[in-house]
Each structure stands twice: as structure tokens, then as C-alpha cells.
């Protein structure tokens, strides 16, 4: 029978592979269709900020002596953060692929047909609000008396800034799927939205939670879960939204998927193209 360490390593690699692979189906689907209709640009836009936040959070918990020391002070029974190298690699990979996905909504770069969706003021407002909150928290900790930001026992410390950055990723994970769920509902269709990325994301979310539980069990203390709420929350939130997308794809809008009816965005683009070419749509 495999040792717990081997099982933990296998689950970590499997989770990272599943979540990493989940980035590829949508860009390839957009490339094959030469269109981004059916998708909302709000998803990749806010995802870029989310993964930059996650990259900063995981990198500091993994490699920063200051943050790891402050974590040990606050979690004496389990002083080692449950962040692994695969978490850092995954975050870096996520930044790159999210940026690539967002770039596909630029007609100047890719030349893809575009739907009528936009990022929207709400997502822009959330992004700006998150950046302002992190900036204000950083200034607050840095402006305290000398050494304050390095003493985790005296209240606010640099680890709280990193926690704040991590919570940005958690917040974005909670909200980033909402525009796409709404878009699918308005179109009564999931055409243009890759279900394969959802299936891989579901597998990654389940394995992420299992990895965190196994890590905490091996340490003999569940503060590994409470001390890393971002990672625990990410897995559970991802699973919940993946279930919603699966219901939309396989149950609620199954008929539209089977008939491959394009969402309204493509119809608008086609009409504009035919007017510019001076032809009737039926020619």
C-alpha cells in the first residue's frame, strides 16, 4: 500500500494537471470557431487579476522567510504553510493562460468574430476596488511603528497583507463565473462555452480539497485548513459553479447544444458583416 506522502504527492500532481489543462479547451474552441461569441470577456478579464493575486499569495507563503515565520507564530501547532511548489507553478501558468484568453477578445490581435458582451462596469469596479483595498492595507501596515509589520503577535503584520491578496483571488473565484452563468441563461444555450474546461476544473477542485485535507491530517492538526482558507475555499467554490455549468450544459440547455444553434452574438456579427459587404443574409 502506498504511503500517505506518496498519495499526497500524486493528488497534488493530479490536481495541478487537471486545473492546468482546464485552461486550454476554451482558447482552442475559440480558435476553431474563429469566434468568442457565447463567452463573456468578464471571465478572463477578472481571472487575470485573480491569478496575479494567487501567484503573489502562494509565492510568498512558499518562499518568503518573513511570511513563513509569521505564519509559524500564528499557527504554532502546525507551523509549516500547506502551500507547495505545484501551487506556485499552477498560479504562474494561470496568469499566462488567463491573459491569453482575455487577448482573444481583441479583434485587432486575433480577428475573431465578437459577440455583444463586454467586461462591464461592475467587473471594472470590483477590480479597481480590490486593487485599492490592497494598496490601502499595504500603506497601513507599512506606516506603523518600525518593526510592526514584522511582528505577527502585535496585530496587523505583513502576513495580513498577503492574506488580503489571497482573499482577492477567493472573491474573484466567487464572482467570476456569475457573468457566464447569466450569459448562458440569457442565450438559453452553452454553445461557445467549453464544457471540457468545466469537467477538468471540477476534477481539480475535488483534488485540491483532498490534498489540503491530507496535508492537514499528516501534520496532525486541522489548522492547515483554517490557516489556508483561500486554497480550501477555491476548491469548494469551483466545484459548486462547475455543477451549475454542468446542469446548464447537460440538462437545462441540452436542446440548444444538440442543435448547435449559435448564440445571439454571432447573429449580430453576421448581420453586420453582410451589410458591410452589401449582400443579403440569404445570398
Q: Which of 195, 188, 198 is nearest to 261 (CA)?
A: 188
Mean pLDDT of 127-151: 82
The CA distances from residue 204 to 23, 27, 237, in Å, are: 12, 19, 12
Mean pLDDT of 208-237: 66
* Region of poorest pLDDT, from 100-104, 205-209, 223-227: 223-227
* 274 pLDDT higher than 50: no
Residue 131: CB partners within 8 Å, gap ≥ 6?
Answer: 49
Mean pLDDT, all residues of the chain: 80
Q: Give 194 or 280, the one with higher predicted confidence.
A: 194
* Region of poorest pLDDT, from 27-31, 60-64, 148-152, 253-257: 148-152
* 21 pLDDT higher than 90: no
Out of 156-160, 194-198, 226-230, 278-282, the most confident range is: 194-198
Q: Give the span between the Cα atoms of 221 and 212, in whole angstroms.
A: 11
Mean pLDDT of 116-127: 89
In the chain, % helix, strand, coil (3-state, to 5) comes to 75, 0, 25
Structure confidence at residue 219 (pLDDT): 63
For the chain, give the percent of residues with pLDDT over 90.
Answer: 33
Structure confidence at residue 226 (pLDDT): 59
| First CA to last CA distance, the chain | 67
CB atoms within 10 A of CB 244: 16
* 260 pLDDT higher than 90: no
* 92 pLDDT higher than 90: yes
CB atoms within 10 A of CB 218: 14
* 13 pLDDT higher than 80: no
* Region of poorest pLDDT, from 155-159, 173-177, 230-234, 261-265: 261-265
Structure confidence at residue 229 (pLDDT): 63
Amino acid at each position: 500500500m502506498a504511503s500517505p506522502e506518496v498519495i499526497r504527492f500524486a493528488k497534488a500532481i493530479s490536481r495541478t494537471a487537471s486545473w492546468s489543462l482546464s485552461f486550454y479547451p476554451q482558447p482552442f474552441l475559440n480558435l476553431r470557431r474563429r469566434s468568442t461569441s457565447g463567452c463573456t470577456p468578464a471571465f478572463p478579464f477578472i481571472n487575470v487579476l485573480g491569478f496575479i493575486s494567487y501567484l503573489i499569495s502562494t509565492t510568498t507563503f512558499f518562499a518568503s522567510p518573513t511570511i513563513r515565520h509569521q505564519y509559524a507564530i500564528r499557527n504554532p501547532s502546525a507551523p509549516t504553510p500547506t502551500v507547495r511548489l505545484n501551487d506556485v507553478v499552477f498560479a504562474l501558468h494561470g496568469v499566462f493562460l488567463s491573459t491569453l484568453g482575455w487577448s482573444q477578445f481583441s479583434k485587432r490581435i486575433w480577428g475573431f468574430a465578437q459577440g455583444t458582451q463586454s467586461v462591464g462596469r461592475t467587473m471594472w469596479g470590483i477590480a479597481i476596488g480590490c486593487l485599492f483595498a490592497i494598496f490601502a492595507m499595504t500603506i497601513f501596515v507599512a506606516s506603523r511603528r518600525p518593526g510592526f509589520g514584522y511582528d505577527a503577535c502585535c496585530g496587523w503584520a505583513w502576513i495580513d497583507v498577503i492574506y488580503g491578496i489571497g482573499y482577492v483571488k477567493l472573491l474573484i473565484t466567487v464572482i467570476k463565473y456569475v457573468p457566464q452563468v447569466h450569459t448562458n441563461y440569457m442565450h438559453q444555450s452553452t454553445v461557445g462555452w467549453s464544457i471540457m474546461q468545466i469537467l477538468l476544473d471540477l476534477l481539480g477542485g475535488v483534488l485540491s480539497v483532498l490534498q489540503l485535507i491530507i496535508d492537514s491530517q499528516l501534520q496532525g492538526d486541522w489548522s492547515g485548513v483554517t490557516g489556508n482558507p483561500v486554497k480550501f475555499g477555491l476548491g469548494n467554490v469551483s466545484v459548486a459553479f462547475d455543477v451549475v455549468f454542468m446542469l446548464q450544459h447537460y440538462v437545462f440547455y441540452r436542446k440548444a447544444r444538440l442543435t448547435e444553434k449559435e448564440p445571439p452574438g454571432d447573429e449580430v456579427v453576421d448581420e453586420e458583416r453582410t451589410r458591410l459587404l452589401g449582400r443579403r443574409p440569404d445570398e
